[in-house]
Amino acid sequence: MTAGSTGVRVLAVDDVRAALDELCRLLRASPDVAQVRAAPDAVSALKVIQAEPFDAVFLDISMPGLNGLELASLLAKLSDPPVIVFVTAYDGHAVSAYGIGAVDYLLKPVRAERLADALTRVVRATAARRATVAETAPRPDAMPALPVETDGRTRYVRRAEVKFAEAHGDYVRLHTSTGVHLVRMPISRLQEYWEGSGFARVHRGFLVALDAVRELRSDSVGGMLAHTDLGDVPVSRRHARELRERLLRAAQRGELGKR
């Protein structure tokens, strides 16, 4: 994330009104900040955080009741915790603050240049967290069925019906137990859609469904063939090892022989 992107959402927490107002002013002046909310104490901050998400909390330490370190410890237990930056008039809590996982520790009065450094750390930490969430989030099923035009009619061939796909110029031939269906799509694009759903690219011109492979055979010239109920699919040398490994993993998970 950089300046000019969507920016981070920040909650500022301080029981001293003048300090809170000044911190909010500085935060709102930053191009890396999209939204700033203010809370006068830790309990109010908890209520705000429960109502809406924040990327970062800029947090005073010395507050009556629940102090900043205690609040930060509670926030760290959330399923999607915000990044913490402590803002305090005292430097004696720095070790405890970093031990909790804070990305920075600002001393009052806060200077704009020092705040900019802290926001750079916040932006990096937030971007890394969002990337991790994106990687681990389940992806929507890509193209579980493809439309096939025949004699002015459209039917949908389900991915589960396809044993293997064969490149045919700008088209692919989908080989199923009910016949061969022609779809206008390059095989490289079909690979992008289906490779994560049990299909493997085994040749520049072929994709094969892993659970449709009955055995691997050698052809008359020493090459490899993936045998399916609908025929043999050529396997190039560069794809042979990967295919064997994927078939082994699928077998260990009990995913073969379902068709």
Same domain, 226 and 201: yes
Same domain? For 45 and 109 the reply is: yes
The structure tokens listed for 120 are 């750079």
Q: Among 136, 160, 183, where does a domain finish?
A: 136
Query: Both 65 and 97 in a single domain?
Result: yes
- Tell me the longest C-alpha to C-alpha distance in the chain: 84
Residue 189 exposed, middle or buried by CB count within 10 Å (0-12, 13-18, 19+): exposed
Q: Are 82 and 50 in contact (CB under 8 A)?
A: no
Taking only the tens place, the pLDDT of each residue in 163-203 is 999 999 889 999 999 999 999 889 998 998 898 889 999 99
What whole-number distance in Å separates Cα of residue 158 and Cα of residue 5?
A: 40
Q: What stretch of H or E contains 21?
A: helix 17-28
Query: The domain that contains 16 carries what CATH number?
Result: 3.40.50.2300
Contacts of 111 (CB under 8 A, 6+ apart): none
Flag whether 2 is in a domain. Answer: no
Q: 3-class SS at 90?
A: coil
**pLDDT-based confidence at 142, cuts 50/70/90?**
low
Is 257 among the domain residues?
A: no
Q: What is the CA radius of gyration of the chain?
A: 29
Among residues 86, 101, 136, the one where a domain terminates is 136
Q: What is the CATH number of the domain that holds 173?
A: 2.40.50.1020
1 domain residue, yes or no: no
**Model-level pTM?**
0.53
Looking at the structure, tell me whether residues 67 and 116 fall in a common domain: yes
Nearest CA among 236, 128, 237, 145 for reference residue 185: 145
In a domain, 220, yes or no: yes
Q: Quick one: pLDDT at residue 39?
A: 97
User: Does residue 259 belong to any structural domain of this protein?
Assistant: no
Q: Are residues 149 and 241 in the same domain?
A: yes
Number of domains comprising the chain: 2
Q: What is the pLDDT of residues 86-140, one digit of tens each?
A: 998 877 766 676 777 889 999 999 999 999 999 999 999 998 887 776 665 555 5
Tokens of 113: 């240049």
Domain that holds residue 196: 145-252
